[in-house]
Amino acid sequence: MSDARLVVDGRHQMLVDMDLREVPRAAWFDAGEWRRGGAHAIESSGRGEVLIVPHGADMWVLRHYRRGGLVARVIDDHYLWLGAARTRAFREWRLLRKLRAAGLPVPNPVAAHVERKGAVYTADIITSYLRDTRKLSAFIAESRAPSDCWRRVGAMIRAVHDQGVDHPDLTAHNVLLDGGGNCFLVDFDNAHVKPPGDWQRQGMVRFNRSLRKVALETGTAFDAAAWRELEAGYARRR
């Protein structure tokens, strides 16, 4: 990408916006260093720990890529090296840039980092912190999901699908709401751009299943009327 800058420091490679005035350092992606400086972890519905880290007047979110499923018991956070462009961090950084350019409500990607270790690598990504937001799943658990949010959530999912993006973890944990009625979608790890297909319907099925699971786990009732509103928002998005 012409608006991206690659910084190489030994076995570390970092991808940042050309407009970022600072030169990124490998220490930016050291969770232990941030914790010693007062950073704190936030709950993650995905794999591993997510840190909120202060940087000047800004707040960043640092996420280390970890494997899920049974393979995680053997290989926690290492991936096969197939070139920097194909690493999970660089692909997610570029996808977020594309979605931001299209006006979609996703976090701003600050920097992506990979550390090559022979035939494998580890990776991290830093994104902007979405202030005053909470997970949709938290609102559902408290039976406090705003009644007018559902159409906006449906329209947001449709907008992402219209960009050809298949979000592999489309769940209530990765939809955030703020006090102003805005909704955001986060965690695009391993998302892929595809032509229109059945994956769009499957994405909605996945999200419906997530809402039902949250309701079951928190002892709240699945809101069928809310789901109809969400579907209406998805259908009307053009």
pLDDT in tens, 146-199: 999 999 999 999 999 999 999 999 999 999 999 888 999 999 999 999 999 999
Contacts of 96-104 spanning 24+ positions with Cβ under 8 A: 96/127, 96/188, 97/1, 97/3, 97/4, 97/17, 98/163, 99/160, 99/163, 99/165, 99/188, 102/159, 102/163, 104/156, 104/159, 104/160, 104/163, 104/185
Q: What is the mean pLDDT of each run of 10 residues along the chain (238 residues)?
A: 83 91 90 77 58 88 82 73 96 97 96 96 96 95 94 97 97 95 95 96 98 96 96 84
Catalytic residue from among 3, 124, 166, 169: 169
pLDDT, residue 181, reads: 86
pLDDT, residue 40, reads: 65
Q: What does DSSP say about strands 175-178 and 133-135: parallel, antiparallel, or unpaired?
A: antiparallel
Largest CA distance in the chain: 55
Q: Catalytic annotation on 9?
A: no
Share of the chain above pLDDT 90, in %: 74
